[in-house]
Amino acid sequence: MEGHTLKIESTEFGSITIEGKTYQFDVVIRLSGEVIKRKKKLSKMYYGTSHKVSKDEAKFVYEKGCNKLILGTGQYDNVRLSQEAADFLERKGCKVLAGPTPDAIASYNTSQAKKKIGLFHVTC
Of 50, 20, 45, 44, residue with least CA distance to 119:
50
Domains of the chain listed by start with CATH number: 8-121 (3.40.1230.10)
Q: Are 82 and 98 in contact (CB under 8 A)?
A: no
Q: Are 54 and 85 in contact (CB under 8 A)?
A: yes
What digits encode the pLDDT tens for the residues 81-115?
A: 999 999 999 999 999 999 999 999 999 999 998 89
Q: Are 78 and 104 in contact (CB under 8 A)?
A: no
Q: What is the pTM of this model?
A: 0.95
What digits encode the pLDDT tens for the residues 29-54?
A: 999 999 999 999 999 999 999 999 99
Of 39, 36, 91, 74, residue with least CA distance to 60:
39
Q: Whole-angstrom Cα distance, residue 27 to residue 104?
A: 13
